[in-house]
Structure 1
Amino acid sequence: MSEEVKGRISVETENIFPIIKKWLYSEKDIFLRELVSNACDAIAKLKKISLSEEFEGGTDYRIDLNFDQNERILTIQDNGIGMSEEEVHKYINQIAFSGAEEFVKKYQGEGDKPEIIGHFGLGFYSCFMVSSKVRIETKSYRKGSQPVVWESESGTEFTIKPGETTERGTKISLFLDGDSGEYLDPWKLKELVRKYCDFLPVPIYVKEEKANKQTPLWSEQPSSVKKEQYDDFYKYLFPFAEDPLFHVHLNVDYPFKLQGILYFPRLKHELDANRMGIKLYCNHVFVSDEAKELVPQFLTVLQGTLDIPDLPLNVSRSYLQNDPLVKKISSHIVKKVSDKLQEEFKRDPDEFRKNWDEISLFVKYGLMTDEKFYESAKDLIFFRSSNGDLTKLEDYVERNKEKNLGKIYYAGEAELSSVYMDLLKSQGLEAVLVDSRIDSHFLQFLEGKNADWKFQRVDSELADQVLDKEASPDLADSENKTIEDRLKEIFSKAVGREGVEIKTEALKAEDVPSVILLPEHLRRIAEMGQFYGQKSSELLKTHTLLINRKSKLVKNILSLSKGLHPEKAEKLARSVYDLALLGAKLLSEEELSAMVRRQRDLLEQLSSD
């Protein structure tokens, strides 16, 4: 070629470039990802050629980003394979995009955006999002090749002419438009290199300063990586996070390609489960901070990297969710995670138990939402016991099957020192402790999975073992009323509200005058309502007040009611009910204030008698 040639790019660009320029404008940073990725590809191709051919120039491969603030020019230069005039026509002037019109129709009106437009053959043309003019200076690696200069101001028309460079490779100069001056800042360029191209296998320099890490640890063979390297890599990815508990290194070549490292973070709070920390890569190029289409939701609490070269990133989310490849990848990740949990438990059961509190939310949610995960991890269901130990649920059931008569007693952590737990412990009984809002759903889920598991909260019904079955019979008095009748009469008047059922029993613990029992089904409905932010106070007003006939205080109330002080008996009965409500944590602030006033009045009366 001895003179300048003008031409028009052979594709329906008048439809495509408005989309690139405007529709993708909010994500215009990706132009740098595309150009640097192309430069890295050019070097990778040359590296392969070097195995069988000789070529001019050295092998000190690199990519350079430079800029001229006065001229507003940003350059991206590589010393890779370069292009001849014929290749410029083939790869630049004839966009390798047979489905251009389909692309326009599919995406022009949709909210989902393709994550890596290079998969359309449009990677280079993303530079027109930030440029008023683009120049390519390139020279092929082949001996005797002539340099070529390509220029375009619109992206639709171009000029091509002989160049003067003597260096192998490609240099792209972007004449930035008025809205893109931010790319003339070295800190901005370093930030984008770190975000998108940190793990490309070629050193990238910004104004002669190396800007990328280069070593993607996930590409190494797991057997060759030490624990310290995994820990250091995690700190590099998540510099402000605590040390992870353990990790899973994924390395698959068949039937799909998948590499990555997933770390189990420490979940200190339920809200931590909402964070997402899996970084998605495609051939070492960063694509997204979200991987929720690739892994089940319960796994999005993990942190780390996934690199999937064959992932169809240029399609909608709904397509991804139904894509067979994605389903296979997701299933593989679930299996590897469950295998890792089993491995960690077998390796060091004590350490696993120590870490349980920080992974229990993740495991419970996974068991409930993923059938395959449940099948592989169902023997790793742990609960804190009222005895102070962390126990496997199946061990608890086996240990207590004779005493508990087929029931699994449970209580909230806050109830560990309650009267209900005292009654259980006094008879050598044991309960599992629940401490998160997900547990009401989890217990119901477990009952559905195993017909032999029946969970009963300690305040829903007293265990038979705490009842005194040998207590003296409840005989009728001269008015043909039993003790139960008398107590129901006294306490019904003292309570004075609907929805409260009054029962009497003889408890082995004589120092407990009464307890509140809440129906199991109402308790669960209330707790599930709290999970969704609903108030449960009205629902829990329906409960049972169980009076202990063996209590000395209850006997005194009964005597007072028959004597000269029935009003004092009623006030004492109300105090017994108030204390039971207080023990069951069912008093609102307003009701607590009213209780304090009643106690004060009672004390004044007692002190004056």
Structure 2
Amino acid sequence: MAKQGNIRISSENMMPIIKKWLYSDKDIFLREIVANGVDAITKFKKLVDLGEAAADDAEYCIKISIDKDAGTLSVEDNGIGMDEEEVEKYITQIAFSGAADFLEKYEKAGGEGIIGHFGLGFYSAYMVSENIEIYTRSYREGAAAVRWESDGESTYTIEACDRQERGTKIVMHIAKEEKEFLEEGTIRSLVEKYCAFMPYNIYLNFQGKDDKPLNDTQPLYLKSPKDCTDEEYREFYRKTFHDYHDPLFWIHLNMDYPFRLKGILYFPKVKSKVELERGKVKLYCNQVFIADNIKEVIPEYLMLLNGVIDCPDIPLNVSRSFLQNDRQVQKISKHITKKVADKLTGLYKTDREKFENSWNDISVFIKLGCIKDEDFYSKVKDIIVFKDLNGKYQTLADFVAEKSAEKEDGEKPAEAAEGEEKPAAAEAAEGEAKPENAGQSAENAEEKKEEKPKQPATVYYVSDEVGQAQYISMFRGAGLNAIVCDTFIDPHFLSYLEYKETASYRFLRIDADVDAALKAGESNADDDKALVEAFKGALKNTSIAVKAEKFKSGGIPAIINVSEFSRRFGEMNAFYGLAGADADRDMTLIVNTANPVVGSFLLLDAEKQKFVANQIYYLAMLSYKKLSPEEMKDFSEQSVSLLQDYIK
């Protein structure tokens, strides 16, 4: 016959595991102990409200004290306290939780504010303590005070004591190797990190009523947005994140249904590229700190922001796997994303100037969000702007429309060039003039026009305004424009846009192709062939392709051209540390036949052709990338030689 029984866990075997593995950061013990004190006070206040306990005039607070001589760190509250039976239940029996039992009894009376787990949380103190004493007295009239002590092994002592005050005092005898927790500076920093917004004042080495608490019991995010001033938002930001630069703007989250969520997200002003790596979004549960940057609750791309989010519906001690699979958490994450998108869209529509002035600081976060989250992209795609070569910020749609309008203004309306589609007005005029076309309807003509597949608009971009200066000069000279995409995320974002908007846009870096508008027309094919052959024979770099083109501007002798596909493929492989896809193998040196030096090249003797061809190549390469050590040495020697010839 099968036999059933209860599994029993020996505390002797369990305590070493708790001491070593309970939390990844041992300093979190202070949060657990202080949170238990807050829990005890909240319980007592609830009992007073229900008329089950008598109130007094004492301030509800937590007192932390350090005694270096005794080697102790103490945390004391004036909450509900415990009697001997409760100490046996909630301290000695690890599996029980005072908060859980209290909630079960008083949930109908509104006990949602209980946060502590006076079970495992208490035992976290053994990660830094070699011995712990508890002095406690219950709120119940006539209850005897109790002292409990244990070294964290398998035994404990419990006895009566002479404590007169209601509440609990926990005295931790700090282990020799953990003496840092007897330093006032350490405790202050831990309170600031874990207990900054706990709902009752926390004092360190309390001396009297003039002492200032370490925490803020009424943080700004708990207030209604309509009751907060801009200066209060800025001051809260400076105090919380120790950043004395004002944030660009902020979002105040405040809702109670279908879940409870309060908080403030700040868009910081980025002062260096290092700061783009990670902001700090602090997650709280009922004003108790849980962790920084929990991506299961706050989307990863929002980690570039600074903020405080308080969500009572998230357990204080919970695994990441739980958060990943919890539907409520997923709803919270989506709501935060929506509020951020709404804020950005609202700012774009109501204060375009402020939006554009902030763009350089927020663009990386927005672009990363689009790549990571398709829903976010759908919400903000119409407000993504790009700076053009004139410093003007435009959406892609506006940029392309402006480009098309400028092109139409420059075309002759009367006659279309051979091979080009005639303007609609010209076709209509011809239709009226020719009787044989009189029966052709305007609808049929429109249908024919619509049958032609729409080609994506080509958008040129600049990734380095200094390095690509000569290309920019050529574009400006030809009346062309380009957008500036010079952040680390732009190559990925442009590829993402091409994927999402395949029919609308095609992106080419300004040095990836020679736009027809830059060319002055066809030159003599035989001369071009001879020029190319002469250049190839003179260049030390025998692997580079050479091509001749006649540009409208003769100021630049040559440019380096690499196809957009080859360059992007090479950058992608370099990013992932892969070999075998060097974009330089696809380089083409395009010599400008309109340049006087290039125009005279074939008249030079072989020695001078070598000198001039390589100097032109080096100048073109410097605008594309760094020269190799050998090339730089040769370029320097040739440049010095030119200077010497000049001063002779």
TM bracket (short chain) = 0.7 to 0.9
Aligned letter for 1:62? C
Written as runs of structure 1 = structure 2, the 5 A alignment for 1:35-434 is 35-53=33-51, 54-55=53-54, 57-97=56-96, 119=117, 121-154=119-152, 156-208=154-206, 209=211, 210-312=213-315, 314-401=317-404, 406-415=457-466, 418-434=469-485
2:518 maps to: 466
Instruction: Please report how far the alpha carbon of residue 118 of structure 1 lies from its aligned counterpart in structure 2 after TM superposition.
Output: 5.6
Structure 1 residue 228: Cα displacement: 1.1
> 1:525 and 1:586, CA in 2 relative to 1: closer, same or farther beyond 3 A?
farther
Change (3 A) 1:146 1:557: closer
Contact 2:570 2:582 in 1 (8 A): no
Using the TM superposition, give the Cα deviation of residue 40 of structure 1 relative to its aligned residue in structure 2, in angstroms: 1.1
Match for residue 410 of structure 2? none
Which of 535, 547, 553 is the equivalent residue of 1:503?
547
- 1-side partners of 2:159 and 2:625: how far apart? 84
1:213: how far off? 2.7
In the alignment, the residues of structure 2 paired with residue 453 and residue 25 of structure 1 have an alpha-carbon distance, to the nearest angstrom, of 51
> Percent identity among equivalent residues?
41
Q: 1:137·1:171 contact (CA, 8 Å) conserved in 2?
A: yes
Q: Secondary structure at the match of 2:156?
A: strand
SS at match of 1:170: strand
Indicate which of 584, 595, 612 corresponds to 1:572. Answer: 612
Task: Report the Cα distance in structure 2 between the residues aligned to 1:236 and 1:429, rounded to whole angstroms.
Answer: 48
Q: What is the CA deviation profile of residues 344-378 of structure 1, one whole-angstrom value per residue up to 9, with x for unaligned ones?
A: 22231111111111111111111111111111111
Select 1:596's aligned residue among 636, 639, 647: 636
Shift of 1:533: 6.9
1:300 is displaced (CA, Å) by: 1.0
- Structure 2 distance, partners of 1:97, 1:312, is 17
Tell me, in whole angstroms, the C-alpha distance in 1 between the residues paired with 2:593 and 2:45: 90
Between stretches 450-459 and 545-554, larger displacement belongs to 545-554
TM-score normalised by the chain length of structure 2: 0.80
Distance 2:623 2:126 in 1: 70
Structure 1 238/605 Cα, relative in aligned 2: closer, same or farther at 3 Å? closer
Match of 1:113 in 2: none
Can you list the C-alpha shifts for 1:400-428, whole angstroms capped at 9, x where unaligned? 13667921011223258733222222221
How far, CA to CA, are the matches of 1:77 and 1:133 in structure 2?
17
Cα gap change, 1:157 to 1:426, in 2 (>3 Å): same
Structure 1 position 91, deviation (Å): 2.3
2 CA distance for matches of 1:174 and 1:94?
A: 19
TM-aligned CA distance change 1:118 to 1:157, over 3 Å: farther
CA distance in 1, matches of 2:54, 2:66: 29
Query: Which runs of structure 2 are paired with 1:433-448 in the superposition (5 Å)?
Result: 433-448=484-499
C-alpha deviations, 1:273-296, integer Å up to 9, x for none? 222412222221223233233222
SS in 2 for 1:135: strand
Contact 1:55/1:143 (8 A) holds in 2: no
CA gap 1:414/1:532 in 2 versus in 1, 3 angstroms: farther
CA contact (8 A) 1:527 1:536 kept: no
Shift of 1:235: 0.9
Larger CA deviation: 69-78 vs 459-468: 69-78
CA distance in 2 between partners of 1:180 and 1:516 (Å) = 63
Q: Is the 8 A contact 1:295 1:330 kept in 2?
A: yes
Q: 1:536 to 1:75 in 2, by over 3 A?
A: same
C-alpha separation in 2, matches of 1:298 and 1:48? 40
Letter in 2 for 1:446: L
Shift of 1:530: 5.2
Aligned-residue offset at 1:148: 3.1
1:483 aligns with 2:527: yes
Q: CA distance change for structure 1 residues 155 and 248 in 2, over 3 Å: closer, same or farther?
A: farther
Counterpart Cα distance in 2 of 1:536 and 1:386: 34
8 Å CA contact 1:438–1:531 kept in 2: the answer is no
SS of the equivalent of 1:29 reads helix
8 A Cα contact 1:530 1:536, kept in partner? no
CA distance in 2, matches of 1:36, 1:603: 76
**Whole-angstrom distance in 1 between the partners of 2:615 and 2:190:** 68
- State how far apart, in whole Å, the 1-side matches of 2:17 and 2:138 are: 32
Letter in 2 for 1:412: S
Superposition RMSD on alpha carbons, in Å?
Answer: 3.1
Residue 556 (structure 1) shift: 2.1
| 1:23 alignment counterpart | 21
| Residue 558 of structure 2, aligned match among 503, 511, 514 | 514
- Distance, in Å, in 2 between the alignment partners of 1:583 and 1:519 is 16
Tell me how far apart the structure 1 counterparts of residues 135 and 644 of structure 2 sit (CA, whole Å): 98
1:14 to 12, 15, 23: 12
Structure 2 counterpart of 1:544, one-letter code: T
Deviation of 1:310 after TM superposition, in Å, equals 2.8
TM-aligned CA distance change 1:183 to 1:573, over 3 Å: closer
Amino acid at match of 1:548: N
Structure 1 residue 591: deviation in Å?
Answer: 0.8
Aligned pair count reads 569
Residue 218 (structure 1) shift: 1.8
**For the residues of structure 2 that align with 1:489 and 1:605, how far apart are their CA atoms?**
28
Compute the displacement of 1:18 (Å).
1.4
Where does the alignment leave 5 or more consecutive residues of structure 2 unmatched?
Answer: 1-7, 98-114, 408-454
Conserved in 2, the CA contact under 8 Å of 1:96 and 1:120? no
Equivalent-residue separation in structure 1 for 2:202 and 2:642 (angstroms):
82
Q: Please give the per-residue CA displacement for 1:482-538, whole angstroms capped at 9, x wherever unaligned.
A: 212221221121125343222223322234433222211122234435545789995
Q: Which amino acid aligns with 1:311?
A: I
Q: Structure 1, unaligned stretches of length 5 or more? A: 1-9, 99-116, 476-481
Structure 2 Cα separation of the partners of residues 462 and 77 of structure 1? 76
Q: Which moved more, 1:149-158 or 1:338-347?
A: 149-158
Q: TM-score, normalised by structure 1?
A: 0.85
Superposed displacement of residue 555, structure 1:
2.9
* Closer, same or farther: CA 570–128 of 1 in aligned 2, 3 Å: closer
